[in-house]
Amino acid sequence: MGNRTIKVETMSRVEGEGGLYIRLSGDAVDEVRLEIYEPPRLFEALLRGRPLEDTPDITARICGICPVAYQMSSVHALEAALDITVSPEIRRLRRLLYCGEWIESHGLHMHLLHAPDFLGFDSGLEMAKQFPDEVNRGLRLKKHGNQLVELLGGRAIHPINVCVGGFYRLPKRKEFQKLIPDFEWGLGAAVAATRWVAGFDYPDFETDCEFISLSHPDEYPMNEGVMKTSSGDLIDVCRYEEEFEERQVPHSTALHAIRKSTGHPYLLGPLSRVNLNREKLSPTARKLADEVGLEPLCSNPHRAIIARGLEIVHAYEEALMILRDDQPQGKSREEYQYQAGEGMSATEAPRGTLFHRYVVDEAGKIVEACIIPPTSQNQAQIEADLKQWISHVISDDEQDTARKCENLVRAYDPCISCSTHFLKVKIERC
Amino acid sequence: MIAGIGSPHGDDQVGWEIARQIQDKGSDLVCVRLARTPDDLLNWMEDFQQLMICDACQGAGDVGSFHHWEWPAQQLDAMHWSGTHNVSLPAVLALAAQLGRLPASVHIWGVEVKQAQPGQSMSDSVLAGAAAVVETICQEIAIPLKTVGTQHA
């Protein structure tokens, strides 16, 4: 077999736009490039000089799927800079808001973006002809997530109710109560969805990577914790930029990331979170993980869809606990005084750990901003896994090879818009 | 339900503009909603018997001209409908039909647009097209009009 190039010009069912370029020498892989060509969006520069209060609303605009993550990382980082400690009530409501985003994002990805790959369909629309009940279920889960974000965030997309110190307005108890019947149905549906995806036929493929996520002694990680790695390290979030390095590569407008101490890429996201925090999953999710046979340290990226299912179950269960028990009361936000300082925070976006760091001045203006989204951190690992995966799927049928490469990329649920910010596949045989 | 699909950018505001003008005339019997992307409709349409969708379109005629289709209509596939992640209005309606979520009656009103630049206002010809659609829809639904609130995506 001669040399050839396989190129997927625009990958479908991923957030944002990018391509995939593969150059082969016979059956040997010469080069794999995730080509991210969306232009840089320059949010960090946009924030400089603006009032710090603008930050959560501006950074929320980075993504229509995970705006809550941007808001959470930004307010926590700014609160660190201003020495603000939020009340336990606000902390619980922020977790509730994050539950909404996980349900909405994971529900969409599982049912409409990723499941078609396992069932042999090119799209969710095509899949809906044979699996209408499952697609309807995915849409209902997404709707629940959107409703919860709307209740706490003021609107479902790009919420506007999150502020430094808390929320502009607290929801009313009766608004919570109205959601409970739908969320009780949703918990059962999420369990059924996880059992459904766990029954898919998974390729025999394992990645040799370091899994990293936040970890917290008392809870499944969302808004705080230390960075935990599958090699056994615990890293304080304040040392994020010391431990991880972003590098520019010629073929991508998104930066690649490696762990400095190893020189290797790493993987963030639901599979890493479940691998490293399984014992902190809610009771139903933990029991379900055992029931569906998810390995204690699962290294097959295709099985991340099961981890997403478990996280939806967790999110419904935690949300229900808060919705049933909580009586939103007290101050909606903490007051604060401006002071010069620096603060950083990492929270768990649906696709992985999202790091923010801000320097603010004594007038409350942003002096410096640093935002490191999960997809850009995962890109180098995705390329490394693709190099390994191609040897499993290479054939004379270039369309089939390209499709299987896309399948793997979708397993990571990349958000190219966030990472620039991804997909077209080109395979070149030399 | 009357759903305006649009954005704050240039002529792409036309779907929202039509929905807002109908809301201003208002009726307790009409629910008006504003959507950013066609897939927003999937969350809303189950509860209604009739759905009127107002959106910007390209490829149907001169700028400012307005057009009406009753779903399903083959002409819709030949035109350009924007939507995030390539989820176009016809794709959303086809999915809804597949899933049994589509109201019994679905009408689509499109106004041909030219530009959708951030910070730009709507062109005069598109505004005139919007006014014509509002008048036609109000005559068509022929129900007593009052003021009701608009719900936004």
CB < 8 Å to A135, chain B: 95, 98-99
* Residues A167 and A90 sit within 8 Å (Cβ to Cβ): yes
Distance from CA of B123 to the nearest CA of A (A): 27
Nearest to A22 by CA among A397, A401, A377: A401
Q: Is the pLDDT of residue A185 over 60?
A: yes
CB < 8 Å to A41, chain B: none
**Minimum-distance CB partner of A136 among B36, B99, B152:** B99
Distance from CA of A146 to the nearest CA of B (A): 9
Determine the residue of chain B that is closest to A12 in CA distance.
B85
Separation of alpha carbons A164 and B88, rounded Å: 37
Q: For residue B143, what pLDDT band results from cuts at 50, 70 and 90? A: low
* Residues A410 and A114 sit within 8 Å (Cβ to Cβ): yes
**Minimum-distance CB partner of B98 among A125, A143, A157:** A125
CB < 8 Å to A141, chain B: none
Partner-chain contact B98 A146, CB within 8 Å = no
Distance from CA of B97 to the nearest CA of A (A): 10
- Identify the bridge partners of residue B103 per DSSP, sorted by sequence position: none
CB pairs under 8 A between A and B: 34
CB < 8 Å to B91, chain A: 125
CB < 8 Å to B36, chain A: 157
* DSSP states of A166-215: EESSPPPHHHHHHHHHHHHHHHHHHHHHHHHHHTS---------EEEEEE
Which residues in B have their CB inside 8 Å of a CB on A? 36, 42-43, 84-86, 91, 94-95, 98-101, 152-153
Q: Is the pLDDT of residue A311 over 80?
A: yes
ipTM confidence score: 0.72
Segment A358-417, tens digit of pLDDT:
999 999 999 999 999 998 899 899 999 999 998 889 888 888 888 898 899 899 988 765
Partner-chain contact A139 B99, CB within 8 Å = yes
A143 close contact with B: CB closer than 8 A: yes
- pLDDT for res A42: 85
Q: Is A371 helix (H, G, I), strand (E, B) or coil?
A: strand
- pLDDT for res A430: 60
Distance from CA of B140 to the nearest CA of A (A): 32
CATH code of the domain covering residue A60: 1.10.645.10
Nearest to A114 by CA among A410, A408, A386: A410
Distance from CA of B87 to the nearest CA of A (A): 10
**Minimum-distance CB partner of B99 among A135, A142, A157:** A135
CB < 8 Å to A146, chain B: 43
CB < 8 Å to B98, chain A: 125, 128-129, 132, 135
Look up the pTM and report it: 0.88
Q: Is the pLDDT of residue A419 over 60?
A: no
Total structural domains in chain A?
1
In a 13 Å sphere around the CA of B94, the CA atoms on its Cβ side amount to 16
Determine the residue of chain A that is closest to B151 in CA distance.
A155
DSSP state at residue A244: E
From its phi and psi, is residue A384 left (phi > 0), alpha (psi between -120 and 50) or beta? Answer: alpha
Partner-chain contact B85 A143, CB within 8 Å = no
Strand B66-70, strand B50-57: pairing: unpaired
* DSSP states of A257-273: EEETTTTB-EE-SHHHH
Segment A44-89, tens digit of pLDDT:
999 999 999 999 999 998 888 899 999 999 999 999 999 999 999 9
A136 close contact with B: CB closer than 8 A: yes
For an interface test with A, the pick among B85, B86, B93 (most A C-beta atoms closer than 10 Å) comes out as B85
Partner-chain contact A15 B86, CB within 8 Å = no
Segment B83-123, tens digit of pLDDT:
555 568 888 898 999 998 999 999 999 999 988 877 789 99
Segment A98-108, tens digit of pLDDT:
999 999 999 99
Mean pLDDT, chain A, rounded, equals 91
Separation of alpha carbons A110 and A136, rounded Å: 12
CB < 8 Å to A129, chain B: 98
Segment A4-19, tens digit of pLDDT:
777 776 665 556 667 8
| Full domain range(s) for residue A290 | 3-429
CB < 8 Å to B85, chain A: 13, 15
Q: For residue A229, what pLDDT band results from cuts at 50, 70 and 90? A: very high
Q: Provide the CA A241 distance to its chain's centre, in angstroms.
A: 19
Q: Is A64 helix (H, G, I), strand (E, B) or coil?
A: coil
Partner-chain contact B101 A136, CB within 8 Å = yes
- pLDDT for res A221: 98
